[in-house]
Amino acid sequence: MKSPADLARRWAKQWGVADTREERLLAPDAWPVALSIGKPTPTQFTHHTQEVRNHLQRWRAVSIGHVRWEPVSFRSGSDPVEVPVTWELRMPSEWIAACADSGIQQEYERLGRLVSASDSAFHRLLVRRRHLLLDTPEAEIIKAMQVAMHLFPSCAEGRPLRALSICGSDSKFFERNRSLLIHLLDVRFEGQVSDLGLEVFLDALDEGEHWVLVAPLEPDLLPFAQQRVRARELTARALPGTHVLLVENDRCLHQLPALSGTVAVLGAGLNLNWLGAPWLTNKRIGYWGDIDTWGLVMLAKAREQQSHLEALLMDRKLFDALEVTLAVVERRPAGAQPSQGLTDAEIELYRYLQGRERGRLEQEFVPRERVIAAIEQWRAR
């Protein structure tokens, strides 16, 4: 036999399970739910009569939900005895009341206020991610949801996050609520913000340190074979030589050939604001990235900074040649529309990749002989 207090603890434990909480708070067909109370054994009924009486009395006093009773016959009794067998709850408010826990009650009430003040897209996140909400003031969470609904890719236009005043947010707002904002934006943009980073996704000035790999492809062009450099330093410090080869991924250095007058910059990703540096205007610039929608987004962003930039190894012909053996699924493609700055052929490729089951060719897997041939041809021009 389980007492109301025993089952209250079980109801409260279920509140702590994210899957259960989500189902019961967001799925109307999840109700009713019930827990078994258990029946007294013949021994209890015969030798612990007072204990059984107390048990029945406690359950008669329960007014939350519905307690189902059944007649049970015992050998030592002349008539069947009505005993409680299940405790059934019919709605979330009954569940919370049955928990008999003031902390859960407060959390439920707070969650209700947040849900009523938010877009439905965020309801699942609010219900599941308790740790994001428990230590943050309600007004701050509501403000974060409002801000997240107004943010979109590249909306910062190169400004630092602290300079973005959205929905009345202050200069420290992004710093205080960074984790929450990333989770909210991941809901809207299918995890892209976690993949790319908040600053990169919003095109905000990264006031931290984004490091790129700089490698001269001609011996003695620089006093080192390769070195990590903060991307922002390249806005003011010119690289030697006549050619700059920009490579999306820093894991491709081993594929690059020796080239006179050429310095490779690897690993910039979407952190491309430094390409606006005046010293790059008179350099020949080649860009090599993945053949996927995000690779083309980065290419367009780079071309916004230096319009004379040339794309290398990023065409339909190469993709078709290697698709069967090397292409993979692009887990989270970029936006539905191609970015401005792409050529007609690149726009056609973007749309073609969107329709492919495996629409991603990673540059690390392009055969080295193809890479060398394409880059040497670019340098020879």
What pLDDT does residue 270 have? Answer: 81
Quick one: 220 and 341 in the same domain? yes
For the purposes of burial, counting CB atoms within 10 Å of the CB of 281, is it exposed (0-12), middle (13-18) or buried (19 or more)? exposed
Could you give the CA distance from residue 231 to residue 314 in angstroms, rounded to a whole number? Answer: 24
Quick one: 362 and 233 in the same domain? yes
Between the CA of residue 287 and those of 144, 200, 211, 325, what are the distances in Å?
37, 18, 18, 24
Residue 158 binned pLDDT confidence (cut-offs 50, 70, 90):
confident
What pLDDT does residue 77 have? Answer: 59
Mean pLDDT of 235-254: 94
Between the CA of residue 306 and those of 14, 150, 244, 267, what are the distances in Å?
57, 29, 12, 18
Among 156, 182, 202, the domain boundary falls at 202
What pLDDT does residue 133 have? Answer: 80
Quick one: 167 and 220 in the same domain? no
Quick one: 190 and 224 in the same domain? no
Mean pLDDT of 156-177: 88
* More confident position, 332 or 348: 348
Mean pLDDT of 180-201: 91
β-pair partners for 82: 71
Between the CA of residue 362 and those of 180, 257, 291, 323, what are the distances in Å?
31, 19, 6, 11
Residue 227 binned pLDDT confidence (cut-offs 50, 70, 90):
very high
Give me the percent of the chain exceeding a pLDDT of 90: 73
What pLDDT does residue 78 have? Answer: 67
Quick one: 242 and 337 in the same domain? yes
Quick one: 115 and 92 in the same domain? no
- Residue 243: strand, helix, or coil: strand
For the stretch 58-89, pLDDT in tens is: 999 999 999 999 988 766 556 788 889 999 99
Residue 208 binned pLDDT confidence (cut-offs 50, 70, 90):
low
For the stretch 121-131, pLDDT in tens is: 999 999 998 88
Could you tell me the residue range of the domain that residue 158 belongs to?
A: 106-202
What pLDDT does residue 147 have? Answer: 96
Mean pLDDT over all residues of the chain? Answer: 92
pTM of this structure: 0.61
Quick one: 260 and 117 in the same domain? no
Give me the percent of the chain exceeding a pLDDT of 70: 97
Among 62, 83, 100, the domain boundary falls at 100
Quick one: 234 and 310 in the same domain? yes
Among 143, 171, 202, the domain boundary falls at 202
Quick one: 156 and 287 in the same domain? no
For the stretch 359-372, pLDDT in tens is: 999 999 999 999 99
Quick one: 94 and 139 in the same domain? no
For the stretch 324-342, pLDDT in tens is: 999 999 987 888 889 889 9
Number of structural domains the chain divides into: 3
For the stretch 4-55, pLDDT in tens is: 999 999 999 999 999 999 999 999 899 999 999 988 877 777 667 788 889 9
Quick one: 356 and 281 in the same domain? yes
Quick one: 171 and 119 in the same domain? yes
- Residue 338: strand, helix, or coil: coil
